[in-house]
Amino acid sequence: MAKSKNRASTEVNAGSMADIAFLLLIFFLVTTTIANDKGIAMRLPPKPDPNQPPPEVSKNDRNIFKILANSQDRLLVEDEPWEDDPSLLKEEIKKFILNFGDPGPEGQDIYNSLPPQLKSYISINGRRPDSSQDPTEAVVSFKAQRGTSYKLYIETLDAINSAYNEVYGERVGITGEEFLALDKKDPVQKDLYTKARNGIPRAISIAEPDKGVQ
């Protein structure tokens, strides 16, 4: 009799293990988020109105930072061939945006609102007569030919964007990376974002490539 009692108690009820496994399965199913894809966000210009003539380009030449990419994947920056890595364009563009060569009233306001580090950056690198007047006027123009590789296009666009993000970030005392990571749903971070963006437009002009020649 004692023997049979022992035998009954040795078996562990493992039936609920399946439920535990199911619970785990469902938990992971729910919590797994599929890797979000990331990329460089851009806004295309609106479609041209056929009734309106194309707008005249009235910008002063000094306010346009010209980048050209040809079908051999060579860059022409401000009419000089660019032999370095495209990512090094960032510094040049940053200097161009923050040149303050001849600021207008709005540009002066922006200059006054800048933190001391950026002001000293400007007094070292800026104020050149051949570069932009102030950030409100500055435009970075990028033109790629049909034969340019997409890789170079993205690298250059990335350099331009990183220059702008760094300017925005440093304006509120954070790095470009941190600026990019700001969450616009959080009111505090949104404030910081609008403060950084205020007055300095992200003026990137992507010119249409030449038609015909392919």
Partner 1 sequence: MSKFRKKTDTSQDIPTAALPDIIFMLLFFFMVTTVLRETDIMVKQLLPKATQLTKIEKKSLVSYIYIGQPKNTASFGSEPRIQTNDVFIELKDVIQFVNTEKDKLDEVVKDKITMSMKVDEDTEMGIVSDVQQELRQANALKVLYSSRKVLLDN
Q: For partner 1, which is the closer residue by CB, 136 or 156?
A: 156
As a whole number of angstroms, the distance between CA 161 and CA 182 comes to 15
Q: Using CB under 8 A, which of the segments 45-53, 98-106, 108-116, 120-128 binds partner 1?
A: 45-53
**CB distance 137 to 107 below 8 Å:** yes
Binding of partner 1 by 149 (CB under 8 A): yes
20 binds partner 1, rule: CB under 8 A: yes
Q: How far is the CB of 177 from partner 1 (least distance, A)?
A: 8
Residue 31 Cβ vs partner 1, minimum distance, rounded to whole Å: 14
- What is the Cα 174 distance to its own chain's centre? 15
Edge-to-edge strand list for the sheet holding 80-82: 80-82, 75-77, 64-69, 139-144, 204-207
Residue 57 lies near partner 1 (rule: CB under 8 A): no
For 72-133, strand residue ranges (E) read 75-77, 80-82
88 binds partner 1 (CB under 8 A): no
C-alpha distance across the termini of the chain, in Å? 95
- Rule CB under 8 A: is residue 37 a binding residue for partner 1? yes
Rounded Cα–Cα distance for residues 79 and 24 (Å): 62
Q: Does 39 bind partner 1 (CB under 8 A)?
A: yes
49 interacts with partner 1 by CB under 8 A: no
For partner 1 (CB under 8 A), the number of binding residues is 49
**74, 58, 57, 76: which is closest to 66 by C-alpha?**
76
Distance CA 212, CA 46 (A): 23
Of 96-135, binders to partner 1 (CB under 8 A) are none
Is residue 54 involved in binding partner 1 (CB under 8 A)? no
- Residues forming the site for partner 1 (CB under 8 A): 13-15, 17-18, 20-22, 24-25, 34-47, 69, 71, 87, 144-151, 153-155, 157-158, 161-162, 165, 176, 180, 184, 208-209, 214
